[in-house]
A and B are shown apart, each in its own frame.
Chain A
Amino acid sequence: MTGPDDLPPPPYPAPVDATEPVPPAPVPPVVERPSPLTGVAHGGIALGAAVLVVVQQLGSGEVDDLTTQGIVAGVISLGVVLVAGLYGLFAWRTTSFVVADEEFRVERNFISRSSSKVDYTKVQAVEIAQPFVARLLGLAKVHIDVGGAGGLDLAFLANSRAEELREHLLARAARAKAVGQFPPPAVPPSAPAGENLPDALPGEDRPYAPPDFAPPAETPEELVHAMPPATLLIGALVSSPALVFSLAALPALVFSLIFGASVPVIGVLLAFGGWAWANIGSNWGFRMTRRGDTLRVTRGFASTTAQGLRPERIQGIAVHQDLLQRLTGHYRVTVTVLGFAESANAESSSANAVILPYGTWGDVLKVLGVVWPGLDLNTIQPVPQPARARWLTPMAFSQHTWGVGPDVVVAHHGLLEHTLTIVPHRRMQSLEVEQGPLQRWLGLATVAIHTTDGPVSLRLYHLDQETARGVFVDQLDRGRRAREDAA
C-alpha cells in the first residue's frame, strides 16, 4: 500500500555535526505522505453515505416518482463522491508528516497552510480507526489525542504503517514521560517542507523508532480480557436502550393488532435493528491487551477501532449496571481519560470511554486490576447515609453508600440502575461541599470531588454535616499526600 518506489531515494538532509557530542545517535526524521489511496477511500466513504441516504429515502416511502428522483439522487451522489475523492486526492498531495526524534509534525499545504506540531510529552492516547471502506483498502486513520488542545487526525495510512506509527508515538510518549524531559535535541535535521516532495519520500517503510527505543518489541502483548460474543449479545439485549425499545414497541404492537397497520411495528423494529447493529457492531470482538504499561483496546465488526490507553491517564472509573442487567449480572465500565473529552465528536468520545462494554463482576475486577493494580474494593467499608437522608432520597436511600480507601474514594448510587464510581485521591482536582436549604434543615451536606471532565463524576450525597466537614478536610489531606507521593 505504499507509494510508487521507482524514484531513487534522495539523500538525507544535512548530516549531524560530528564534533558535537550527541549521547543518543540522532535519527534522521522520517518524512512521509498519507497513502495514495486516500482519495479512493474518501470517495468510497462518501459513496457509502450517499447509498445509505438513498436507501433511507426509499425506505421512508417519500419517493413516488422513482425514475426522476433516482436520476437526481444518482447525480447528486456522483457529485458528492467526486468532490470527496478530489478532496482526498488533494489532501494526499498536500499533506506530509515528519516523524523526528523529538517531535511529530504534520504539514498541510491545502487551502491554508498549516504545520501542527505534537510534543511527545503531550500525547495522551493514539487511536486507529478503520471505516469500512478504508478497511477494504487496507487503510486506517490515526487520531492523536493531546489533552486540552484538541487532537490531530491523519487520514489515511496503510494499515501496518498506522500501527507502527501508533507504537512509535506511544513508545515515545512513555519515554518522554519517564525521562520527564527530552535529552537536548540532537541538531534536528530540518526536514523538507511539504510542497516539493517527490512521490516517494525518503524513509518510507523505514521503522520510525531506532531499536534502542523500541521497548514493545521484547515485552510480549498479553491478553487481559476478550469479550465472548454471547456476553455481548446478552448484555446488549438486557441493556437499558433495549428495554426502552421494547417498551416503545408494546403500544405500537397493540396499535398494529387493533388497526391492522404494520407500519409502527416495522418502524420500531427498524430503529431497534439500527441501534443493535451499531451497538453490537462497534463492540464486536472486544479485546483488551497489555504490553508493558500500555493497554490496548480493540473492537468493531465492520469498522475496527484500536486505541492505546495509559492507565496513569485514567482519572476516574464508573461501573454501571442497567436495570435488567441486574438479573443477568452484567456490568459496563467507563473511564474518564485525559484527552478523550476533546475527541472528534461527542458520540465517539463517549464510546471510547468504555473499557468494558458488557461483562460479569469477575471481568470488571479483572479490568480494574489491570488499570489500578493496588485497588481492592473489598477493603473499603461502605458507609450508608444517615437515616434522616431518607427525606431527600426516599427511594434510592439503601443504594446510596460511600467509602474511602487508602488510595480511592468510592460512591454507589442509583435506584433502578446502579453506578459505582471510583476516583483516586491522586486524581482529585478540587473539592467542594454544598448544602441546600432542605439539607441545612436536616443537618446534611453533599461532598463533590471534582475530576477532569468525562463520564465519571463523584458526589457523596447527604452526609451528616459534621461528617461532611470531616470528609472534606481529610480528603484534602489525602489528596495532598497522594500528589506529594507521586511527585
Chain B
Amino acid sequence: MSNTLFAPPGTDWQRLSPRYLTMKLLLIPIGWTVAFVPPAVAAFLFVEPRWVGWTVVAVWAVFLTWRLVRAPFAFRRWGYAERDTDVYLTSGLFQRRLVCVPYGRMQLVELESGPLERAFGLATVEMITASTQGGIKIPGLRYEDAAALRERLIARGETQQAGI
C-alpha cells in the first residue's frame, strides 16, 4: 500500500494473537443474537403484519454478516511496536488511528483479563497516561505475552519517567 501514514516505525508491527479473532468470531453472533431476540420476539407476537418481524430478522442477518466479514480485516489492522523511548499502536479499519505513547508518560500499565479472555488465554494491556484522551489499549494478546509486555513497559517507564 502506498499510504505511508500508518506505516510501522522502522520495525514491523507486532500483531495480536489469532485466538483473539476466534473469540471475536464467536462473540459477534452471540452478542448480536442476544440484542435482536427481544425485538424480533416482540415483533412476531404483537405486531400484526408478519413482514415487520421478518424485517427485524433480515436486519439482524445483514448486521451479523457485515460484522463477521469485517472482523478479520479489522483484526489485521491492529498492530503495536515497541521502540527505545515509546510504543506505537495502530488500529481501525475505516476510522484509522496511530498512537504513540512515550514510556516516560505512562503513569500506570494495567493488565486485564476477563472470564472470556481467560478462557481463550488472552489479556488486554492498557497504558494509562495523565490524559484520558488516548484510550490506549492493546487487546487480544496471549496472556504470557501481555504479562511480559507489561513488565517491559513498567521497567522502561521507571527509567524514563518524566513527571507530568
For B5, give its contact among A450, A451, A468 (CB under 8 Å). A468
CA gap between A105 and B4 in the complex, in Å? 55
Residue of B nearest to A483 (CB): B162
Assuming A465-B5, A469-B5, is B105 touching A429 (CB within 8 A)?
Answer: yes
Assuming A432-B99, A453-B131, A480-B102, is B5 touching A445 (CB within 8 A)?
Answer: yes
Query: Hey, what's the 0/1 contact readout for A444-466 against B, CB within 8 Å counting as 1?
Result: 01001011110001000000011
B97 near A434 (CB under 8 angstroms)?
yes
A338 contacts partner chain B, Cβ-Cβ < 8 Å? yes
B101 near A430 (CB under 8 angstroms)?
yes
CA gap between A434 and B77 in the complex, in Å? 13
Interface hits, B98-153 → A, CB 8 Å:
98-102, 104-105, 129-134, 136
B102 near A479 (CB under 8 angstroms)?
yes
B164 near A436 (CB under 8 angstroms)?
no
A52 contacts partner chain B, Cβ-Cβ < 8 Å? no
For B104, give its contact among A440, A453, A469, A483 (CB under 8 Å). A483
For B100, give its contact among A440, A465, A472 (CB under 8 Å). A472
Interface extent on A, as a size class?
20 to 34
B4 near A466 (CB under 8 angstroms)?
yes
B94 near A437 (CB under 8 angstroms)?
yes
- CB-CB < 8 A to B3: which residues of A? 440, 465
Assuming A465-B3, A476-B86, A480-B85, is B131 touching A450 (CB within 8 A)?
Answer: yes
B5 near A453 (CB under 8 angstroms)?
no
A433 near B162 (CB under 8 angstroms)?
no
Residue of A nearest to B4 (CB): A469
A431 contacts partner chain B, Cβ-Cβ < 8 Å? yes
For A432, give its contact among B86, B98, B164 (CB under 8 Å). B98
A435 contacts partner chain B, Cβ-Cβ < 8 Å? yes
- CB-CB < 8 A to A468: which residues of B? 5
For the complex formed, measure the closest distance between the CB of A2 and the CB atoms of chain B, giving whole angstroms. Answer: 38
For the complex formed, measure the closest distance between the CB of B2 and the CB atoms of chain A, giving whole angstroms. Answer: 10
CA gap between A19 and B28 in the complex, in Å? 72
A247 contacts partner chain B, Cβ-Cβ < 8 Å? no
B11 contacts partner chain A, Cβ-Cβ < 8 Å? no
Q: Which of A148, A435, A448, A457: most chain B Cβ within 10 A?
A: A435
CA gap between A433 and B9 in the complex, in Å? 13
- CB-CB < 8 A to B94: which residues of A? 436-437
Residue of B nearest to A336 (CB): B131
Interface hits, B40-78 → A, CB 8 Å:
none
- CB-CB < 8 A to B9: which residues of A? 473
B98 near A452 (CB under 8 angstroms)?
no
Q: How many A-B residue pairs have CB under 8 A?
A: 91
CA gap between A147 and B104 in the complex, in Å? 18
For the complex formed, measure the closest distance between the CB of A423 and the CB atoms of chain B, giving whole angstroms. Answer: 11
CA gap between A468 and B5 in the complex, in Å? 8
A486 contacts partner chain B, Cβ-Cβ < 8 Å? yes
B104 near A431 (CB under 8 angstroms)?
no
For the complex formed, measure the closest distance between the CB of A336 and the CB atoms of chain B, giving whole angstroms. Answer: 10
- CB-CB < 8 A to A432: which residues of B? 97-100, 133-134
Assuming A430-B136, A466-B4, is B97 touching A440 (CB within 8 A)?
Answer: no
For the complex formed, measure the closest distance between the CB of A128 and the CB atoms of chain B, giving whole angstroms. Answer: 24
B5 near A457 (CB under 8 angstroms)?
no
Residue of A nearest to B3 (CB): A465
CA gap between A198 and B155 in the complex, in Å? 50
For the complex formed, measure the closest distance between the CB of B50 and the CB atoms of chain A, giving whole angstroms. Answer: 37
A18 contacts partner chain B, Cβ-Cβ < 8 Å? no
CA gap between A342 and B105 in the complex, in Å? 20
Interface hits, A173-229 → B, CB 8 Å:
none
Assuming A436-B94, A483-B162, is B133 touching A450 (CB within 8 A)?
Answer: yes
CA gap between A92 and B155 in the complex, in Å? 46
A338 near B164 (CB under 8 angstroms)?
yes
For A433, give its contact among B85, B97, B129, B164 (CB under 8 Å). B97
CA gap between A468 and B6 in the complex, in Å? 10
For A435, give its contact among B7, B96, B104, B162 (CB under 8 Å). B96
CA gap between A430 and B130 in the complex, in Å? 9
Assuming A440-B96, A469-B5, A472-B100, is B131 touching A430 (CB within 8 A)?
Answer: yes
Assuming A338-B130, A448-B133, is B100 touching A431 (CB within 8 A)?
Answer: yes
A230 contacts partner chain B, Cβ-Cβ < 8 Å? no
B99 near A430 (CB under 8 angstroms)?
yes
CA gap between A323 and B94 in the complex, in Å? 35
CA gap between A476 and B84 in the complex, in Å? 12
**Which are the 5 A-B pairs with shortest beta-carbon distances?**
A429-B131, A450-B131, A483-B162, A450-B133, A434-B97
18 A-B residue pairs with CB within 8 Å:
A338-B164, A429-B105, A430-B102, A430-B136, A432-B97, A432-B133, A433-B6, A434-B97, A436-B95, A436-B96, A450-B133, A452-B130, A469-B5, A469-B7, A472-B100, A476-B102, A483-B162, A487-B163
Interface residues in chain B, defined as those with a beta carbon under 8 Å from any beta carbon in chain A = 3-7, 9, 85-86, 92, 94-102, 104-105, 129-134, 136, 162-164
**Sample of 17 more A-B contacts, CB < 8 Å, known A338-B130, A338-B164:** A147-B164, A430-B102, A430-B131, A430-B133, A432-B98, A435-B6, A435-B96, A451-B133, A452-B130, A453-B133, A466-B5, A469-B5, A472-B98, A483-B102, A483-B104, A486-B162, A487-B162
